[in-house]
Amino acid sequence: MAIIKRINGIQIHRITTNRFWKGKELVVESKYQCKLISDDNVLFETESLDDAVEFCKTKPRMLRNFNIK
Boundaries of every domain in the chain: 2-66
Pair type for strands 2-7 and 25-36: unpaired
Instruction: Enter the pTM of the model.
Output: 0.75
32 alpha carbon, distance to own chain's centre: 4
pLDDT at 69: 47
Q: pLDDT tens, 4-17?
A: 888 888 899 999 99
State which fold the 2-66 domain adopts. GCC-box Binding Domain (3.30.730)
**Ranges in the chain, pLDDT < 70:** 60-69
pLDDT at 20: 95
Phi, psi angles (nearest 5°) of residue 55: -60, -45
